[in-house]
Amino acid sequence: MTYMLGIDVSTTATKALLIDDHGAVVDVAAVEYSFQTPHPLWSEQDPDLWWQGAIQGIRQLLTRTGVDPARIAGVGLTGQMHGLVLLDGQGTVLRPAILWNDQRTAAECQAIHERVGRERLIRITGNEALTGFTAPKILWVANHEPDLYARAEHILLPKDYVRYRLTGAFGTDKAGAAGTLLMDLKTRDWSPEILEALDIPPAWLPPTHEGPEITGRVSGEAAALTGLQVGTPVMAGGGDQAAQAVGVGAVQEGVIALTLGTSGVVFAPVAQPFIEPEGRLHAFCHAVPGRWHLMGVMLSAAGSLRWYRDTLAPDVSYTDLLAPAEAIPSGSEGLIFLPYLTGERTPYPDPLARGAFVGLTVRHTQAHMTRAVLEGVAFGLRDSFELIKRAGLGRIDQVRVSGGGARSDLWRQILADVLGSELVTVNTTEGAAYGAALLAGVGAGVWPDVDAACEAAVRITGHTAPDPAASDRYDRVYAEYQRLYPALKGSFERLAEG
C-alpha cells in the first residue's frame, strides 16, 4: 500500500496526517504551541515552533503506525496564510514571523493604496490591502526595522518555511501566494507591477507552483530528524482554506464549502480569475491547477458561540446550552445578535465593528439569546453568499459544511433555512491536512488529478434541507439584520475611542 503525508502548519499547532491510497486516514498527530502578542494589535510566532512540531508529529505517526517511510509517496503542505517569514542569505530567520491576525499595518495598507491605486490593486491581485495580508507586513518591517530589512534576502509563508527545512528549497503554492497581495491573479504568478510599486526585490520571493507539483525532496538532514526517507517528494499543497476545500471536495463550480470554525469561511470555486469589483470578496488561486476561488470571511463564527458560552454559561455543555433553543421560533421572537466580536472582514472590513444583541425584552430567555447567536452567525455567513450570487457566478448546486459548529443539528438546520440551500456533510473531518495529503497523492500519481482524488476519497454522509416557511421568516429578519451595521457604525467608532 502507498501512503501520503499531509502537514498543516496552523496558528496553534502543527498537524501531521497519514492517509492510504484509498484516501482513508491512518493516523493523525498534532503538536501544539502558542503565539505572542508583544504589543497591542501584534501577533508573532517563532518559526522554529512549526519545524519542531513537524518533526515531532511525523515521528509520532511513523512510530505509532509502523509504516515504512519508503512507502510514503509524497508530502503535501498547508497552513496559515498571509504570515511573513524573513530570512537572510544563509537561510537564518531574522525576526519572529508576523502572523495573519496581526493588525499593526493600517498605515502600510493606506500606503499601498496610494502607491498602486486601490482599484488597480484589486484588478491585479483580486483584493484590496488589508492588515492581515503579507505585503503590508513587508512594508512595516522596511519602515520600522530598516537595519533588519537590509539583511533580508528571502520572504516565505509559514508552511513554506517548513518546506525549506524539509527540502532546502524555496517554493510556495499559488493559492498561498495569492494571499500575499503580491500576485497577479490572472497570470497566477508574482506581479512585476506590484513588486516595483512596493520596492520589493523579485529575487526575495520563491517560485510558485500548482498544488500537486513537486517543489523539492526530503534532504538527508531532514530525513535524519523526521524519520522520512531521503528523496521523498514534497508537493506544493495549498493555503489552509484552499486545502480545506480540496479536503471536502469543493473543487468545481457550484459546490460551495462552508467552514463553521472559530471564524466562518464561504469558499466558492470558479473556473476563471473572477474579481469582485469592490474587493468585498477575496479572490485567490485555488490549490487545483488552473482554477480560482472567491471567499468571504467572518471573524467570529463558532467563536461567537464559544464567547457566549464561556461568558454567560461557563459550566454548561454545548449540548445542554443549545437544546432549549430548539423550541424557540425562527427569528428568536424579535431578538437579533450581531457577531462582530472581533471586528469583521466580509462584507465590512472593519476592525472597529462590535457585537450586539438588538431587540431584547423582558420576555426573552437565555434560550432566545442562544438561538439568536446561532442565527446571527448564519446571517453573517449569508452576507458572503449574497455577494457571491450578485457577482454573477451562476448556480449554487451544493453547500458542503464542515468545522466544529457543523456538528450541531440545530445550527445546520438554521444555516440551511437562512441560506435557503441544502447543506451536506462529508466523511472527511481532518480539514486542510487531509486536502494537502490528497494533493500529495495527485502529485505522486496515485490519482490522475484533483477531481479524481476527491471523487475517490470524499463521500456525502448527511443532508439538511431548508424549511420553506422558516426560510421566508428568516428573509424578513435578515433584512433587518442588514440595516443594523450601517445604523451602528458611527457608534462603534466612537465607542472604540474609549
Task: Characterize 351-383 residue by residue with b for buried, 16 or more Cβ atoms within 10 angstroms of its Cβ, and e for exposed.
Answer: bebbbbbbbeeeebeebbbbbbbbbbbbbbbbb
Whether 240 is a known active-site residue: answer yes
Sequence-distant (6+) residues with CB within 8 A of 232 are 69, 72, 73, 74, 75, 217, 218, 223
Among the listed residues 20, 173, 184, 240, the single catalytic one is 240
What's 407's DSSP letter?
G
Provide the β-strand partners of residue 217: 233
Could you tell me the three cell numbers for 152? 533580508
CA-to-CA separations, 450 to 177, 216, 442, in angstroms, rounded:
19, 20, 6
The helix/strand/coil state of 352 is coil
Q: Give the chain's largest Cα–Cα span.
A: 68
H helix count then E strand count, the chain: 17, 23
CA distances from 129 to 49, 103, 114, 219, 477 (A): 28, 12, 11, 37, 32
| CA–CA gap between residue 220 and residue 345 (Å, rounded) | 43
DSSP 90-132: TS-B-SPEEPTT----HHHHHHHHHHH-HHHHHHHHSS---TT
Integer distance in angstroms from the first to the last C-alpha of the chain? 62
Residue type for position 57? G
Contact 260, 405 (CB under 8 A): yes
Q: Which amino acids are annotated catalytic?
A: 240
